[in-house]
Amino acid sequence: MSSMKDAREAIMVGRRTDGTRVNRPLSPHLQVYDMLQITSGLSIAHRATGVAWSVGLLVLAWWLLAAAAGPGPFATVQWFLSSFLGMLMLFGMTAVAWYHTLAGLRHLMWDAGYGFDLPTTYRTGRAVLIGTGVLTVLTWLIVIIAWG
């Protein structure tokens, strides 16, 4: 009779190089994450902004194809992007770009082995959020001044 309570436990058992038995950890899933923690929220937001970047690339491809197709299609895209909905989308994509960039730099810092202690994790998380807001507004101020 086996001492395992669940058949899935068999795939969690491994051996170290010296032959000793070790239990492998389970990967966390959404039920494990506390959405009110800054670390979980920022991790999920980083993934969501990656998806949003994909949508932004489709809009960029539409804009480039319209520019290549001629003045009529390009005017249509320009009309949409200059509408309220288009400007809101462009503003959101700017925030997505800055957030994903700053969170990516934070991940690179982690890959180098820095910033794993909780105070630094929370401090860099807040810096990503504040930096996203400041850089998004600064970008749009520069755009508005350049257009004006």
Where exactly are the structural domains of the chain? 38-147
What is the per-residue pLDDT for 104?
Answer: 95
pLDDT score at 37: 80
Strand partners, 21: 15
Tokens of 105: 């730099």
pTM of the model as a whole: 0.74
Residue list for the binding site for heme: 100
Cβ neighbours, 10 Å, residue 100: 20
Q: Please state which of the ranges 24-28, 77-81, 106-110 shows the lowest mean pLDDT.
A: 24-28
Residues annotated within the binding site are: 100
pLDDT for 141 beyond 60: yes
46, pLDDT greater than 60: yes
- Is residue 109 within 8 A of residue 115, CB to CB? The reply is yes
Is the model more confident about 115 or about 11?
A: 115
Residues 100 and 43: their CA atoms lie apart, in Å, by 10
Is the confidence at residue 10, as pLDDT, over 80? no
pLDDT value at 1 more than 70 = no
Instruction: Pick 38-147's CATH classification: 1.20.1050.140, 1.10.357.10, 3.30.360.10, 1.20.1300.10.
Output: 1.20.1300.10
What's the pLDDT score for residue 28? 62
